[in-house]
Amino acid sequence: MPFQPRPQPDTTSPLIEAIDAQLDWHRLFPDDHPRELEIGSGKGLFLLNAGQSRPNVNFVGIELARKYARNAADRVAKRGLTNVRVVWGDAKALIARAIPDHSVQAIHVYFPDPWWKKRHRKRRMFQPGFVALAARLLIPGGRLEIATDVESYHEEILDLLRSSPAFLEIPVDPVADPQHDLDYRTHFERKYRIEGRPIFRSRFAAKSFATPEEADKCPVLPATDDSTAD
């Protein structure tokens, strides 16, 4: 049987379920607008709000759980947002092999799984390898935006990023009062703020780029149909 090349993903659809080669930003978005990534997009509230309020920015959400990636993409499609895409897969694998270096102006990581059990800590998003990958992706001055409700995890994240030569800590914007019921960054944030839980936020700017060897330190997680989501 003659070789049959694997079909390329439909980059005009809000949902992309497979990326095998390096992503061509101009196939994904037919313009030169700045690009931002959300890692762990869950049900897509950040993507929806950001995509609607900032039409001159292109957003890509990466979600490990297929059912939540599909849910978020369906919501994007219903609102007709042409500047938002949702990718199903592992973020580390995607940004290591598929997303061009120095091509993103911001990376958003909101309420990452804390992986409470000690034997699972290696699955946490924030590790030296991920920091190296984030630094490689961001343009000079590009932002890494972080929020979590777990103070101990936030302290570990701060220690990691403050010790990195690739990042500089910068001030976080004040948090405004919500103007409507879904005026929050994520569903987790909505839940926790209504409950009165403290939320820990930080922001870092990229000042240099990491090496591929450093990026290889971050383990890849298998994509799944089951996960918690914001």
> 């890494």: which residue's tokens?
144
Pairing of strands 84-88, 15-16: parallel
Residues 107 and 134: beta-carbon distance below 8 Å: yes
Among residues 104, 164, 163, which one has the least CA distance to residue 138?
Answer: 104
Identify the residue whose tokens are 């302290």.
Answer: 155
Name the catalytic one among 24, 31, 113, 183.
113
- Catalytic residue at 113? yes
φ, ψ (nearest 5 deg) of residue 89: 155, 180
Alpha-helical regions (H) of 56-186: 66-78, 91-97, 128-137, 151-162
Q: Count CB neighbours of 160 within 10 A.
A: 15
Residue with tokens 């101009």: 26
User: Which residue, among 88, 93, 87, has the nearest Cα to 133 in the 3D structure?
Assistant: 93
Closest Cα partner for 168 from 212, 110, 208?
208
CA torsion sign for 32, 212, 39, 204 is negative
Quick one: which of 160, 48, 147 has its CA closest to 107?
Answer: 147
Please list the active-site residues: 113
